[in-house]
Amino acid sequence: MAHPRLYSGMQPSSGSLHLGNYIGALQQWRGLQQDHDAFFSIVDLHAITVPQAPDVLREQVRTLAAQYIAGGIDPDRACLYVQSHVAAHAQLAWLLGTITGFGEASRMTQFKDKTARGGQEAASVGLFTYPILMAADILLYDAEIVPVGDDQKQHVELTRDLAERFNKRFGPTFTIPKPRILADGARIYDLQDPKAKMSKSADNDKGIVWLLDDPAKTAKKIRSAVTDTDGAIRADKESKPGVTNLLDILSAMTGTPVADLEAHFDGQGYGVFKTEVADAVVAELAPVRERTLELLADPAELDRLLAANADRAAEVADATLARAMGAMGLR
């Protein structure tokens, strides 16, 4: 029997993934690709909803492809490709935009968060319609499962609503996808501000662990993480967000449940705890960083792989787009 279809993607909008992307997305993907027919995209069309320098963007696309592979995505098994190489994404996004309510799109909390500082007037229309493009990504591949961190849950729910609406209005066309979100580690927080999610746009670089950071720098950032004065190593999101975040991180790195970690650290101090977290993160990320740098030494090979996979992706996407256009009375 065919494996269930799975779809996810990340933006090439920084020079490196951070630990939140790694735990919330890449680590999950790695396991899921074994028994799913997986498509993983590099969503460059999403990245340009905020200004990007063309040369830098081109480099970041390659760097992200290398991080996917170094992080364990098997390019012979999963289809790893660049969104803009497949024209159907932008085309289906237009069709879906015509059945999306303006009010419905206005309720997306990520748009509100992203425009909180600069104001909505300064934002591009592309940033506003971004979730509709994400719906197109998912629906083009008939994905049943979409593994993401919890900040993307509302966008996957919008995707479900749009697919159901389309099917009702125009006849069965799209598969209804489900988000897949981890119980622990769905949201990794900033090391310096553990109530805010770890995010590439944070002001203070000290709170972000970058995959491609030098290991000594990573260890230092973790040892300097903000905790509290209570001294106990136990999970409590409300009153001990810093310690809870470090427990989640260690749990994701080692596969040990948080409750077992609490027992392990019973009676220990924060110094010992932070050193163990730092060692575990470095042990996990240092090989990924090295492999990424090796892959980047041969950009022609990465480009060849991305071109071949774009053809594979376009075959699936074009068939779905034709179905949707036909259903709407176009073509």
Task: Write the burial class of residue 50 (CB in 10 Å: 0-12 exposed, 13-18 middle, 19+ buried).
Answer: middle
User: How far is the C-alpha of 73 from the C-alpha of 82, rounded, in Å?
Assistant: 15
Q: Does 46 bind ligand TYM (CB under 6 A)?
A: yes
Q: Tell me the three state secondary structure of residue 116.
A: coil
| Single residue of 9, 194, 207, 242 touching ligand TYM by CB under 6 A | 9
Q: Site mask, ligand TYM, residues 19-38, x = CB under 6 A?
A: -xx-xxx-------------
Whether residue 221 lies in the annotated active site: no
- For the purposes of burial, counting CB atoms within 10 Å of the CB of 35, is it exposed (0-12), middle (13-18) or buried (19 or more)? exposed
**250 touches ligand TYM by CB under 6 A:** no
Size of the residue set binding ligand TYM (CB under 6 A): 25
Alpha helices in the chain (DSSP H): 19-21, 27-32, 44-47, 54-70, 88-97, 102-106, 109-114, 125-140, 153-170, 215-223, 241-254, 258-264, 270-296, 299-328
| 9 within 8 A of 84, measured Cβ to Cβ | no
Residue from 5, 8, 82, 162 binding ligand TYM (CB under 6 A): 8
- Helix (H/G/I), strand (E/B), else coil: 39: strand
Residue 227, phi then psi, degrees to nearest 5: -120, -120
Which parts of 195-214 interact with ligand TYM (CB under 6 A)? 197-198
Tokens of 31: 């396991």
Amino acid occupying residue 73: I
Cβ-closest residue to ligand TYM? 24
- Segment contacting ligand TYM by CB under 6 A, of 15-23, 224-232, 256-264, 302-310: 15-23
Contact residue for ligand TYM among 59, 104, 151, 193 (CB under 6 A): 151
Site for ligand TYM in 105-144 (CB under 6 A): 134, 137-138
| 197 flagged as catalytic | yes
**44 near ligand TYM (CB under 6 A):** no
Residue 162: how many CB atoms within 10 A of its CB?
Answer: 24
Catalytic residue among 153, 178, 200, 206: 200
- Taking CB under 6 A as the rule, does residue 152 contact ligand TYM? yes
| One residue of 148, 191, 225, 295 binding ligand TYM per CB under 6 A | 148
d(CA 307, CA 284): 30
Rg, Å, the chain Cα set:
20
221 belongs to the binding site for ligand TYM (CB under 6 A): no
Tell me if residue 112 is catalytic. no
Among 38, 43, 66, 86, binds ligand TYM (CB under 6 A): 43
Is 11 a binding residue for ligand TYM by CB under 6 A? The answer is: yes
List the interface residues with ligand TYM, window 158-187 (CB under 6 A): 186-187
Contacting ligand TYM (CB under 6 A), which of 71, 149, 194, 207?
149
Q: Which is nearer to ligand TYM, 193 or 232 (CB)?
A: 193
Q: Across the strands, what pairs with 8?
A: 40
- The whole-angstrom separation of Cα 304 and Cα 314 is 16
Binding of residue 61 to ligand TYM (CB under 6 A): no
Shorter beta-carbon distance to ligand TYM: residue 71 or 149? 149
Side-chain-side CA neighbours of residue 122 (13 Å): 9
Active-site pick, 112, 153, 178, 197? 197
User: Does 84 help bind ligand TYM (rule: CB under 6 A)?
Assistant: no
Point out the residues that are catalytic. 114, 197, 200
Positions that interact with ligand TYM (CB under 6 A)? 7-11, 20-21, 23-25, 43, 46, 134, 137-138, 146, 148-149, 151-152, 186-188, 197-198
